[in-house]
Amino acid sequence: MTQRGRATRSTGPTGRPRRADGPRGVERAGAPRGDLAARRARLREVIEPVVGAAGYDLEELTVSRAGRRHVVRVIVDADGGINLDAVADVSRAVSAALDAAEESGGDLVAGEYQLEVSSPGVDRPLTQPRHWRRNVGRLVKVTARGGLPGQRGERPAGDRQVTGRVVAADDERVVLETDAGRAEWAYADLGPGRVQVEFTRLDEVEETDGLDGTDDFDDDDDVEDEER
């Protein structure tokens, strides 16, 4: 969900941008990259409690430059997924929290910026136990330490690419159903998992793409200097 028209201060209740008083909103030329990291930390302090209070997880927060403005991207998720209406609700709540924080403590991001709130896409890597849990039933590919166990149950040395369907996942380990049978791994023995697109799930993938929530920019500026 893209919040457009957001100026150096916040967007008013009518959606019309308000102007900052004085020179506070002016971007300093040649600002070091560390400034973006500091802004991201300040934004997280405001945004994460709001997302958590709404019952969702803040999966990612980035601040990047797009021409003369910044783009604040917020990715949220929950068990069972998150639909467009929920994304819109979270976007409004985050926008209001940013407004309040700027009113009381000054600009969180110098210069013009826009807020984008969206859900994770299917190409997002599975790196946390909750990511695996939320993808039970999906086919994934992952680099596993030792690969699949052999006939005697021992795993060979070295890393192997494993493709399997997630049949169970908890806070400690994940169970995959592979062509060679069912096997489980501790998360420490797995790299980032990648959900595989299946033709039988094309409708589901299209729906997920629809939740991407990010509209095109008003201009063709390239996004640069992204801080993660």
Q: What percent of the chain has pLDDT over 70?
A: 67
- pLDDT tens per residue, range 103-157: 888 888 877 888 999 988 888 899 999 999 999 999 999 999 876 665 445 666 6
pLDDT of residue 153: 52
Residue 174 structure tokens: 């994940």
Assess whether 115 and 175 both reside in one domain: no
pLDDT above 80 (res 44):
yes
For tokens 């493709």, the residue is: 163
pTM of the model: 0.62
How many distinct structural domains can be found in the chain? 2
Residue 19 lies in a domain: yes
214 — pLDDT class (breaks 50, 70, 90): very low
> Which residues span the domain enclosing 179?
129-201
* C-alpha distance from residue 34 to each of 52, 102, 122 (Å): 27, 20, 31
Phi, psi of 59 (to 5 degrees): -85, -35
* Mean pLDDT value of segment 183-209: 76
CATH number at residue 76: 3.30.300.70
CATH number at residue 191: 2.30.30.520
Assess whether 87 and 134 both reside in one domain: no
Closest CA to 5 of 90, 118, 92, 113: 113
Assess whether 165 and 148 both reside in one domain: yes
- Beta carbons within 10 angstroms of residue 7's beta carbon: 18
Residue 93 structure tokens: 């709540």
Is residue 155 within 8 A of residue 148, CB to CB? The reply is yes
- How far is residue 139's CA from residue 211's CA, in Å, rounded to a whole number? 20
Phi, psi of 35 (to 5 degrees): -60, -40
pLDDT above 60 (res 210):
no
What are the start-end ranges of the E strands in the chain?
2-3, 57-66, 69-77, 113-118, 139-145, 159-169, 173-178, 181-186, 194-195, 223-227
pLDDT above 70 (res 4):
no
Closest CA to 70 of 104, 28, 103: 28
Residue 206 lies in a domain: no
Residue 197 lies in a domain: yes
Report the largest interatomic distance among the alpha carbons of the chain, rounded to a whole angstrom.
Answer: 73
Residue 104 lies in a domain: yes
Compute the mean pLDDT over every residue in the chain, rounded to the nearest whole number. Answer: 75
pLDDT above 90 (res 76):
yes
201 — pLDDT class (breaks 50, 70, 90): low
pLDDT of residue 64: 85
pLDDT of residue 147: 66
Closest CA to 43 of 80, 7, 12, 70: 70
pLDDT of residue 93: 96
For every residue of 29-48, DSSP letters joined together read TT--HHHHHHHHHHHHHHHH
